[in-house]
Structure formats: structure tokens, C-alpha cells
Structure 1
Amino acid sequence: MPQLDTSTWFTTILASFITLFILTQLKISLHNFPNNPSNKHLKLLNSLNPWELKWTKIYLPLSLPQP
């Protein structure tokens, strides 16, 4: 029964890793990333909701008068 020749495995695996690394770098470099987001004024984004105009008081169970 012949033995398996493993002398070229290191070269094959190393070449595969280098090729995958180069292909990954090329794929990433060709990708168009969006620009940095600009600052937005938060006051312009706020909208008034009906419940913001009303005065409400929240009664906690512990703050109610004891019977």
C-alpha cells in the first residue's frame, strides 16, 4: 500500500491562503462605502405628538394615600 505524499501540502495551503487574501482585498477595495453622515439638527426632526401637549401626572402605587 503506497504512502501519501504530503510534501507539497504546505505550498498548496499557503498559496490558497494568499490567493483568498488577495481576492478578499480586491473585493473590499472595489466596494463603494457611503460617506460619513452629516450632522442633522435635532430640533427640526422633533414632531409634536398629541400626548406631549397634555399635562399628565403619573401616580405611583406607593405615592397614593394609605387607607
Structure 2
Amino acid sequence: MPQLDTSTWSITILSMIITLFLVFQLKVSKYYFPEDPKPALVATPKPVTPWEKKWTKIYFPLLLPL
């Protein structure tokens, strides 16, 4: 039974890996990857509440006149 010649396997496997790597790089380089979004400075408006415009007095029940 003849021996299997494996002397060319290393160069075949190495060239296959390099070729696959190059093909993968070419495929990936065609995609557009957007940049990271930058935080936008948003001015938050202060909510307008009716009790901030007028003076109110808090009455305690025990301090009311009889």
C-alpha cells in the first residue's frame, strides 16, 4: 500500500487560510459602519406651574381663629 504524500499540505492549508482572510477583508470593507452617535445637547424647558407665579399661604388647622 503506497504512502500518502503530505509534503504539500502545509502550503495548501496556509494559502487557503490567507485567501479566506483576504476574501473576508474585501467583503467586510464594502460595508458602511456609522460612527458612534454623539450626545446632543438638549435644552430642557422648565415646566410652568401655576403655583410658582403667585404667593400661597399654608394654614394649619390648629392655628385658625375660632
Query: Could you state the TM-score of these two structures normalised by the residue count of structure 2?
Result: 0.56
2:28 matches 1:20: no
Larger of the two Rg values belongs to structure: 2
- More helix per residue: 1
TM-score, structure 1 normalization: 0.55
Q: CA deviation at 1:24?
A: 1.3
The 3-state SS of whatever aligns with 1:38 is coil
Q: Tell me if 1:10 matches 2:10.
A: yes
1:1-67 to 2 correspondence within 5 Å? 1-41=1-41, 44=44
Which ranges of structure 2 fall in alignment gaps of 5 or more residues?
A: 45-66
Residue 28 of structure 1, CA deviation: 1.6
Query: Which structure 1 segments of 5+ residues have no match?
Result: 45-67
Q: CA deviation at 1:19?
A: 0.3
Overall identity of the aligned pairs, in %: 52
Give the secondary-structure state (helix, strand or coil) at the position aligned to 1:16.
helix
Figure out how many residues of one structure are paired with residues of the other and give that number. Answer: 44
**RMSD of aligned alpha carbons:** 1.7
Partner of 1:31, secondary structure, is coil
